[in-house]
Amino acid sequence: MTGAIARSREPATLLLPTTVVGSYSVPEWLERLKTDFYLHRISPAHLDEIHDVAIKAAIKDQEQAGIDVVSDGELRRDNDIDYLLARIPGVSITEATKSYYYDYFEAEVREPLSTGETSALGLVKDFLFTHGQTDSPIKFSFTGPFSLSRRIHNSAYDDRADLIRSLAHALNAEARELVAAGATRLQIDEPFLAGYPGEVGLAIEAINIVTKDVRADWALHVCYGNRYARPSWEGHYDFLFPAVLDADVGTLVLEFARKGYGDLSLFKRYPWDRRLGLGVIDVKSEEVETADLVASRIRKALDVLSPDQLVVNPDCGLRHLPAYVARAKLKAMVAGAAAVREELSSS
Amino acid sequence: MFVEVRPTKKLRGAKALNLTACLSPILDALTEDSLDLSRLRLVCDWVQYKNNFRDVVDVRPILSPPPRNGQPVEPVEDKLEIAIDLRRCADADLADVVRDLLARRVEPNGLERVYLENWTKATTSRIWDFNSLYWRYLGVWEKATGRLYEQALPGGESDARNIAGVHELINEMLTVWDDLAARNALPDQLYVIELGVGNGNQAKTWLDEFVKLDAEHGTEYYRRLHYMMCDYSEHVLALARENVADHAAHVSSFALDATTPMTALGFLRYKVFLVYISNVYDNLPTEDVAQINGHTYRAEIRAYLPKAEAVRIAAEFGIESPQLVGAIDKLLSLGPELLVDALSAYFPDAARAAAFWMATWDALKLEERYVPMTGLDLYEIAPGVNGEMLRPLLERHGDVRMQVSNGAIASFVDTLPLLHPYGRLQCHDIFVTDPHQYRTGFLGPGKYDGSIVNWVNGPLLQHIGRRKGFDVSFAPFAHRTGTNIVTLTAQVRD
């Protein structure tokens, strides 16, 4: 039953819906203010207000670009790891100050984590804020247990797999609260997985713990890293298969625009009957794609998947792109998707 | 009135500088003048370069910012800085020099200088045309001086040829490659880039040693190796190609500007395992910024020849004085060889043209003024890098003047994208590694043979590298003692 819920294709009724992966352009002034917070130059209250304003602007940008499913831009989060790790009970942050906000904390687990049923990460508040700002469907994303574990010094578990499973239980409790609060589209990001291809089976097992009994439209995002706008690893997505076929997710969100579309052949080789979040925007380049280029990339995917299996999105988060570039790229993406949608409806 | 004495180490010891003897006549001269002393800064350096761009006393206007909402107006002088070179203070009657300067500076043409340009950003000054000329016509310069450029380096050789350093670097790289190969993640082609290849001695040493170590290692990585030699100077690049002829199948060469490596090497994005740079950054265009009373200024400059020197040079080469600047312009745009064709009446042969070049270079000085910045974010350090990167350095270290090392930053940030996730940039150069050095030392510019030398702003490079996801570390050059050379290493963090 769990799998059936998680793999539901509802409510994606629009053909070739457009969305973002999660993060949105972080303005330089916001980076400075976030860093100022760690230098004790501004208060947590002021930083919260600044984040609220920035998120409203990010949502507005996405709506004006014509994005169908928007996000909060993850603008409250310093990076893909810290916001979550610092809130998980039992994870110690050894030094809670930073000289630059984007740096990772050093995190440690000294005792096994309690895997209770209650959520502790406070993501519901973030979701409700976003929900209050837009009538558009919202995708809410968080980093998955495998990637979170890679930034933890573990002295509590003899088997690192148990740490990953414990983190997955904590995220599962959070996901249930999010759905109870009205979230319908949840995404797990695993930006570290491509660096440890041999551990994909364990990562998928943990993902299924996160999604267990959570009635949401789940997505799983796996990329080659976007830390400081650079890839952390190189390789091919063949490592994901066939293990990912067992993931209880409805959409697999992958990076293609930067790497090329050769890995689409994996969807011919393996029986993937769910959706693919097709990366059509290179988030590591400030060169803005044309709508025609986006359309051609979508058509490549249509050679191997049916139109109702495709979701159109950038390769990864837009956080490292200047806002004007991010806006232009999203507009090109929306226009490219619309052009192909038009072709499909008239054929 | 503010007085800053930077070379504090010179004030103690057996050969201690008599600061009172230096400053006393200057202070006497200043009190005689009607200058508003509350708006005066007196800064003292020890300019260690025998050939440099400064006089024993320089006067630098500090300009006030233009009004925020008015029409653009010419900024006006708000304060004044008087800069003293303590190394030369015993050679001059400083009271007279200061009196004379203060009196003349308010008179039209009172300073008796022949200017080669209007006020400009230091990075676009004509002095960099001289620097560029040196590298483009290095052969002409070497012939004129009778000395190869490597002999002009401290110790008479480049640090790049040190075998122990080369072995260490290669062995570390072989370990990384083995690790990637074990994970089936080692690319087919293994790229190494050297920026500023010079005459190729380093490249030859590196490749020869690589062949030996690879053979011992037994992995045959040499078959997959591509060594890309890059230099601004075609002259030295040609020498370098000859030098590495034994490795020709594994070597490519590119004439490129070190500040924009991606223009020629963009196809190697994320593919390069080692970028090696030696004694390049200190020779790239830079300008200074200064924090004065909590405000940030850029030091603009104006290149000039002292009138007496200009008259002497013109007479020596039979040039009418009004034609001198035009002749220098032609030298900088055409080079010494074509100058013979363009102005044969003055320069019958290349040797004579080279002599003119050297005489002009030797006499060249810089005037400075401080121009207020209107916002760090509006200041471009290098393409894609704005002045906000300076903020931590400026905020943390109070009133300080420092080189921005614009060219080095441009080169650095345009090189980082080349690096493979397991790649490394290694650079030997003269780096400032602690901002406190800006308070205690003179760090350029100096004249080094026919080129310009500035110490490189290491803390700024480190900060920018970090913001781009790289750990940047400094260590004293490990394989030769008694050198100022520092090794910078940049590697992907996290």
Round to whole Å and give the CA distance between B349 and B336.
9
Residue A63 contacts residue A20 (beta carbons within 8 Å)? no
Q: How far is A123 from chain B (nearest CA, A)?
A: 26
Round to whole Å and give the CA distance between B482 and A119.
61
* Residues of chain B positioned with their CB less than 8 A from the CB of A231: 270, 421
Ramachandran angles phi, psi of B240, nearest 5°? -65, -40
- Could you say which residues from 395 to 454 on chain B have a Cβ atom under 8 Å away from some Cβ of chain A? 417, 421
Contact between chains at B388 and A227 (C-beta distance less than 8 A)? no
Contact between chains at A32 and B468 (C-beta distance less than 8 A)? no
* pLDDT, position A17: 98
Half-sphere exposure (CA, 13 Å, Cβ side) for B78?
14
Predicted interface score ipTM higher than 0.85: no
Mean of pLDDT over chain B:
92
Q: For testing the chain A interface, which of B183, B464, B494 should be mutated: the one with the most A CBs within 10 Å?
A: B494
* pLDDT, position B33: 81
B492 contacts chain A (CB < 8 A): yes
Cα dihedral A196, A199, A201, A202 sign: negative
DSSP annotation of A290 reads P
Residue A120 contacts residue A89 (beta carbons within 8 Å)? yes
* Residue A121: count of CB within 10 angstroms of its CB: 22
Nearest C-alpha in A relative to B416: A230
Residue A165 contacts residue A206 (beta carbons within 8 Å)? yes
Q: For testing the chain B interface, which of A234, A238, A319 should be mutated: the one with the most B CBs within 10 Å?
A: A234
Look up residue B242 and give its two tokens. 């000859």
Classify the phi-psi angles of B294: left when phi > 0, otherwise alpha if psi is within -120 to 50, otherwise beta.
Answer: left
Amino acid, single-letter form, for residue A71: S
SS3 string, B39-87, reads HEEEEEECCCCCCECCCCEEEEEEECCCCCCCCCCCCCEEEEEEEEEHH
Nearest C-alpha in A relative to B421: A232
Point out the residue among B421, B469, B494 whose CB comes nearest to the CB of A234. Answer: B421
* pLDDT, position A10: 40
Ramachandran angles phi, psi of B306, nearest 5°? -55, 140
Contact between chains at B386 and A231 (C-beta distance less than 8 A)? no
End-to-end Cα, chain A, rounded Å: 37
Beta bridge partners of A103: none
* pLDDT, position B83: 97
Q: H helices of chain A, where?
A: 2-6, 28-38, 44-65, 82-85, 123-131, 145-149, 160-180, 200-211, 266-269, 291-302, 323-346
* pLDDT, position A190: 98
Residue A206 contacts residue A163 (beta carbons within 8 Å)? no
Using alpha carbons, list the distances in angstroms from residue A263 to A18, A193, A246, A301, B147.
21, 17, 19, 10, 58
B212 contacts chain A (CB < 8 A): no
Residue B401 contacts residue B288 (beta carbons within 8 Å)? yes
Round to whole Å and give the CA distance between B236 and B148.
11
Q: How far is B332 from chain A (nearest CA, A)?
A: 37
* pLDDT, position B147: 84
pLDDT tens digits for chain A (347 residues)? 333 334 433 445 789 999 999 999 999 999 999 999 998 999 999 999 999 999 999 999 999 999 999 999 999 999 999 999 999 999 999 888 888 899 999 999 999 998 767 788 999 999 999 999 999 999 999 999 999 999 999 999 999 999 999 999 999 999 999 999 999 999 999 999 998 989 999 999 999 999 999 999 999 999 999 999 988 888 889 999 999 999 999 999 999 999 999 999 999 999 999 999 999 999 999 999 999 999 999 999 999 999 999 999 999 999 999 999 999 999 999 999 999 999 999 87
Round to whole Å and give the CA distance between A21 and A68.
12
* pLDDT, position B161: 62
Nearest C-alpha in B relative to A285: B417
Beta bridge partners of A310: A276
The ranges of chain B with pLDDT < 70 are: 68-73, 150-161, 479-481, 494
Round to whole Å and give the CA distance between B17 and B3.
16
Look up residue B264 and give its two tokens. 């020629």
Residue B188 contacts residue B224 (beta carbons within 8 Å)? yes
Contact between chains at A234 and B185 (C-beta distance less than 8 A)? yes
A38 contacts chain B (CB < 8 A): no
Q: Name the nearest CA neighbour of B162 among B213, B195, B194, B205.
A: B205
Round to whole Å and give the CA distance between B483 and A180.
67
* Residues of chain A positioned with their CB less than 8 A from the CB of B377: 28-29
- Strand A275-279 to strand B401-403: parallel, antiparallel, or no bridges (unpaired)? unpaired
Amino acid, single-letter form, for residue A318: L
Judged by DSSP in three states, B291 sits in: strand
Nearest C-alpha in B relative to A227: B469
B231 CB contacts (<8 Å, ≥6 apart)? B195, B196, B197, B198, B237, B240, B253, B255, B256
Cα dihedral A133, A119, A311, A55 sign: positive
Length of chain A: 347
> For residues A43-55, b (16+ Cβ closer than 10 Å) or e, as one string?
eeeebeebbeebb
B269 contacts chain A (CB < 8 A): no
Contact between chains at A232 and B270 (C-beta distance less than 8 A)? no
* pLDDT, position A1: 34
A48 contacts chain B (CB < 8 A): no
Degrees, nearest 5: CA angle B251-B258-B390: 140
A104 contacts chain B (CB < 8 A): yes
- Could you say which residues from 160 to 189 on chain B have a Cβ atom under 8 Å away from some Cβ of chain A? 185, 187
* Residues of chain A positioned with their CB less than 8 A from the CB of B185: 233-235
Ramachandran angles phi, psi of B481, nearest 5°? -90, 165
B74 CB contacts (<8 Å, ≥6 apart)? none
